[in-house]
Amino acid sequence: MSTHNVWTHKGTFLLAAVGSAVGLGNLWRFPYLTGENGGGAFILIYALTIFAVGIPILIAEIMLGRNSRCSPIMGMRFLTRTHQTSRSWESIGWLGAASAFLILSFYSVIAGWAIHYTGLMFTGALIDVDAAGVGQSFDALLASPGLLTLYHTLFIAASALIVGLGIHKGIEAGLRVLMPSLFVILLVVLSYGAIIGDLGAAASFLFTFNLADLSLEGWLQAMGQSFFTLSLGMGAIMAYGAYMPGEASLTRTAFSIAVVDTAVAMVAGLAIFSLVFGAGLDPGEGPGLMFVTLPLAFAEMPGGALVGGAFFILVLGAAISSSISLIEPVAAFLVERFDMTRPQAVAIMVIASWALGLLTVLSFNLWAEGTLFHTLFGRSPFAFIELLTNIFMPLGGLLIALFAGWALTHAEVMKEMRTNERWFRIWRFLVRFVAPAAVAFVFLRSIPQVEGYLIPAIGAVVIVGAFAAGRTFLADDSQEL
């Protein structure tokens, strides 16, 4: 029933999923959140949540994709029919597709900044420029809608070209070249940081664990980052899972994805903070860490222009590996549902997302404030789109956990996971109770109207609700075991 192919090698899914996970979240968001939240304590909560929440949901999402062998939308339609559950569960597929579409629209704009900085680095335009000058350069970029639109267009077109070539000639072939190259560049930047910067200070900052330094908001940001970094709830993992060979180990692959993704984030953190500390700069700069603080660090160090250019090529490559996974869920649906060719489906998805991305472009300049949009929604178009994704993704992840934990039978899960009964019971407990409660915390914090003191109470309701909902799926579950 599926129009899908299968990866030519079982290891390709690992490469694809790691490519989806390794992106701006690792190289931009993770370092600046770590810097803002005191370093090691943030990383500790992040790592614990990866293994207690991220991996169980990752396994669940891959499982749904491989079980259905369809795009997320069509796959959930198939699974709700075969498991005789409410069609409301099809919303999992739609939430994933909507998240991918919305994220691609602004992800492409932000990733396009790396094109600009690659040029600035290689041309030496920032050499001997002081902090004020680097900040002014970044502000000038944001103030230019024409330049932002050009970079946005170039980036999303490159991503579309790869996906449009197909599963094997496009995504698979591209990732086989892209991902090893990115790892090599990352190690080069780390080595440079170790020689020129202050690697000891970076390691001390990242691996000194003092939970007292971490606020409640920091805890929730760490939990949220661990969820978002694995690309959960945006349809990408489910779409890629549909191509995963049946003989590939689902559990081992999921753990490998989490380990590699976390390792990349750690190495990127060491590389970036060694340069930041080596230049005597502030690690808590926030979102400007990559595009203001880091270029300043490169500008002050010998050979910084060349290594800085290589670093932003790394950022571009990592962003493309993630963006192609954002195109795939919607493109695959259009191919399956409307019998389009892959180039047609990709073109429709990308053009629509590109057009929506213009709202993000204008949010940094012409529509930065004082517009009708601000009056209606109280924020810029970019902030509003980001808010929607911060709601859709955890909500989708929450539903994935509940559906996989309660609707899939013991026999189905054991067939897919090929594991022992003990690990099955651990996974099912985590995916039924722990993961939904944790994701609910992240989800509720993304809604501005929800006060912090309500989170524990509503989280408890989620746990009880998960158990009650599960009983409606498998009344004879205890007998099945």
Pick 102 or 247 by higher pLDDT: 102
pLDDT at 116 over 90: yes
Percent of the chain scoring above 90 in pLDDT = 52
Using the predicted structure, report yes or no on whether residue 479 has a pLDDT greater than 50: no
Q: Which two tokens stand for residue 402?
A: 């509940």
pLDDT digits 0-9 by tens, 359-411? 999 999 999 887 888 888 888 999 999 989 988 999 999 999 999 999 999 99
Specify the pLDDT at position 334. 96
Neighbours of 93 (CB within 10 A): 29
Considering only residues 274 and 24, tell me which one the structure prediction assigns the higher pLDDT.
Answer: 274
pLDDT of 338 > 90? The answer is: yes
pLDDT of 295 higher than 50: yes
DSSP classification of residue 23: S
Q: Where are the domains of the chain?
A: 10-480
**Residue 476: pLDDT band with limits 50, 70, 90:** very low
* Percentage above 70 pLDDT, the chain: 91
Helix (H), strand (E) counts: the chain: 24, 0
Q: Hey, what's the torsion of the CAs at 428, 432, 437, 438, to 10 degrees?
A: 30
Cα–Cα dist 354/315, whole Å: 20
Fold of 10-480: Amino acid/polyamine transporter I (1.20.1740)
- Structure confidence at residue 448 (pLDDT): 62
The residue that leads in pLDDT, 427 or 1, is: 427
Q: How far apart are CA 14 and CA 446, in angstroms?
A: 30
Q: What is the mean pLDDT of the chain?
A: 87
Average pLDDT of 279-302?
A: 85
Residues 309-336 pLDDT 10s:
999 999 999 999 999 999 999 999 999 9
Q: 216-228 and 381-406 helices cross at what angle (nearest 10)?
A: 70
In terms of pLDDT, which residue wins out, 412 or 347? 347
pLDDT band at 145 (very low <50, low <70, confident <90, very high): very high
The answer for residues whose C-beta is within 8 angstroms of residue 190's C-beta and 6 or more apart is 267, 270, 271, 274
Statement: residue 267 has pLDDT above 60? yes
User: Residue 50 is encoded by which pair of tokens?
Assistant: 């990866």
- Confidence (pLDDT) at 5: 66
Concatenating the DSSP letter of every residue in 53-100 gives IIHHHHHHHHHHHHHHTS-HHHHHHHHHHHTT--GGGGHHHHHHHHHH
- 6, 8, 10, 11 alpha-carbon torsion, rounded to 10°: -130
Q: What is the pLDDT of residue 168?
A: 81
**Contacts within 8 Å (CB) and 24+ apart, 136-140:** 137/295, 138/288, 138/291, 138/292
Q: 273, 31 in Cβ contact below 8 A?
A: yes
- Averaged over 189-193, what is the pLDDT? 92
